Amino acid sequence: MAINPTFHAAARPEWDVPALLEGLKRGDRQTLARAITLVESRRAEDQTFAQELLNQLQPKTASETFRLGITGNPGAGKSTLIEVLGQQWIASGHRVAVLAIDPSSPQNHGSLLGDKTRMEGLSRAPEAFIRPSPSAGALGGLHAHMPEVISLCEAAGYDRIIVETVGVGQNETAVADVVDFTLLLALPGAGDEVQGLKRGVMEAADAVFVNKADGERLTMARDAQRQLRQALQLFHREDGWEVPIALGSALEPKSLVDLFELLDRGMRWFVSTGMSEKRREAQQGVHFEQRLQDGLLLWAQRKHPTAWEDVQKEVKEGRKSPAAAALEFLRNLAAENR
Ligand SMILES: Nc1nc2c(ncn2[C@@H]2O[C@H](COP(=O)(O)OP(=O)(O)OP(=O)(O)O)[C@@H](O)[C@H]2O)c(=O)[nH]1
Ligand SMILES: [Mg+2]
């Protein structure tokens, strides 16, 4: 194949931040999708535009928007439930954004495709916006951009944000760092299924829903409810909120009345006691620190690529302990920047 020596890839057009802001204000979905692409971009030249955009967004208060995290083991029925809940919220006049965290692992790709069919009604609704977000990355930890993506959705007029994430592995409790309220989905059956939930996941839950309480599983669902109640008693909550445990079936919308009620009640309680606002403030602090850590790491790595590689090698080969190697690297950096 001949290579055209006069060919130059077209320079990427610069981002038009005022146009993005204006589009967001209009609630334009395409603009929202583009704005999310911008803040998720790893290109260094996009960073300035992303920050310029984010800095001009008016932050929403906890009484204006509600951020709900839905977590639970793979296959617990999170997407199926969101399909019903989202439509219920739309019917009461809300605009709903669903952000599904893509665990970025090959065995999970099936579920993302599945989400399209599992949230079919919602994905066709003009009042809904559904977006999978990448979670992993060399730097930046879990869903590193989730707080920004949430702000963008809110700026575009979505007042109910649902973040779906599997409650396993590293994603475990991270969702609680970006939402006002965390709903944990559990499955019928005392014993194994209940035990399978990690302590951290249970502790982060503001409410639990035993899903798939249908057909022959109803008795098992009640067992699970009882056992979860006992397990939750072991955790002390300083805020005084008693974690409710509902049961029902995402496939039978009528059985979800209790769940919808408890979500409403939870939302009102968290807003009226100032808990939601307090959480948002604390989360801002956490995000700042995370961003700073990411930035410092990247900076150190770029400044001394060779030393970085050498030290990595030494650690991997067991010639230095990770702690000692990190300390030495930091000392060298500090000495140089004194
Ligand atoms: N019987 C029954 N099946 C359900 C219920 N809710 C969901 N399912 C089924 O369980 C399977 C998994 O549902 P999803 O909604 O994709 O579960 P998920 O938690 O989003 O799964 P991941 O995104 O892969 O973690 C699907 O086949 C659903 O039809 C329920 O209440 N009862
Ligand atoms: Mg799902």
Give the per-residue pLDDT at 134: 63
Rounded distance from Cα 326 to ligand 2 centre (Å): 38
Amino acid at 15: W
Q: Which segments of the chain belong to CATH 1.20.5?
A: 14-57
254 SS3 class: helix
Average model confidence (pLDDT) across the chain? 86
Give the per-residue pLDDT at 116: 61
Q: How many CA atoms lie within 13 A of 328 on its CB side?
A: 13
Q: Which of 230, 170, 242 is nearest to 205 (CA)?
A: 242
Q: What is the CATH number of domain 14-57?
A: 1.20.5
Closest ligand 1 atom to Cα of 100: 23
Q: Which of 18, 20, 24 is nearest to 154 (CA)?
A: 24
CATH topology of domain 59-273: Rossmann fold (3.40.50)
pLDDT digits 0-9 by tens, 20-64: 999 999 999 999 999 999 998 888 889 899 999 999 999 899 999
Check if the beta carbon of residue 179 is closer than 8 Å to that of residue 67: yes
Rounded distance from Cα 293 to ligand 2 centre (Å): 30
Instruction: Output the residue whose Cα is nearest ligand 1's atom 11.
Output: 75
Average of pLDDT values for 68-88? 93
Give the per-residue pLDDT at 161: 97
Rounded distance from Cα 256 to ligand 2 centre (Å): 18
Maximum CA extent, the chain: 73
Give the per-residue pLDDT at 176: 84
Residue corresponding to tokens 């499955």: 187
Give the per-residue pLDDT at 197: 76
The highest-confidence range among 4-18, 81-95, 176-190, 297-311, by mean pLDDT, is: 81-95
Give the per-residue pLDDT at 184: 93
Q: Which of 9, 284, 308 is nearest to 148 (CA)?
A: 284
Check if the beta carbon of residue 211 is closer than 8 Å to that of residue 249: yes
Give the per-residue pLDDT at 194: 63
Residue corresponding to tokens 């993302």: 112
Q: Is the pLDDT of residue 335 over 70?
A: yes
pLDDT bin (cut points 50, 70, 90) of residue 110 is very low
Amino acid at 275: M
Average of pLDDT values for 120-129? 93
Ligand 1 pocket by Cβ (under 6 Å): 72, 74-80, 111, 114, 118, 166, 211-212, 214, 249-251
Average of pLDDT values for 232-243? 89
pLDDT bin (cut points 50, 70, 90) of residue 168 is low
> DSSP label at 136?
-
